[in-house]
C-alpha cells in the first residue's frame, strides 16, 4: 500500500543476458488521479552486484543548508550603508 501523494523508493531487480541486476526508483503515487511520477532511477550495471547509494541528507539538514544559501543571497542583494 502506498500513501497517496507521498514520494518513496521502490527497489527492483531484473535478469538479462549478463545476469541479475539490482536497482531503485524514486517515485510519487497519486491514487486519486491514478498517476505515477518517476523522479530518479538507477541500477547496477555489473551483474550480481548490490547497488550502492550515496548518503541522502535528512530533510532538516537540507532545510538548514537552503536557509543558509538564501541568507547569503539576501545579504549580497542588500544595499550597503555608506558612512
Element spanning 75, H or E: helix 59-77
Confidence (pLDDT) at 66: 75
Cell of 73: 543571497
Q: From first to last of its 83 residues, what are the pLDDT tens digits of the chain?
A: 567 778 888 889 999 999 999 999 989 988 888 888 999 999 999 999 998 876 555 666 667 777 777 777 766 665 666 65
Could you tell me the pTM of the whole model? 0.56
Best CA proximity match to 22, nearest among 49, 3, 59: 49
Q: How many CA atoms lie within 13 A of 22 on its CB side?
A: 7
CA 21 from centre of chain: 21
Position 81 scores a pLDDT of 61
Q: How far apart are CA 71 and CA 64, in angstroms?
A: 11
Q: Where are the domains of the chain?
A: 7-77
Amino acid at each position: 500500500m502506498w500513501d497517496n501523494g507521498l514520494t518513496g523508493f521502490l527497489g527492483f531487480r531484473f535478469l538479462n543476458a549478463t545476469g541479475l541486476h539490482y536497482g531503485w526508483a524514486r517515485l510519487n503515487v497519486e491514487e486519486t488521479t491514478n498517476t505515477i511520477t518517476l523522479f530518479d532511477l538507477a541500477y547496477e550495471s555489473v551483474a550480481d552486484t548490490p547497488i550502492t547509494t550515496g548518503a541522502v541528507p535528512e530533510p532538516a539538514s537540507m532545510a538548514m543548508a537552503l536557509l543558509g544559501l538564501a541568507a547569503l543571497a539576501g545579504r549580497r542583494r542588500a544595499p550597503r550603508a555608506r558612512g
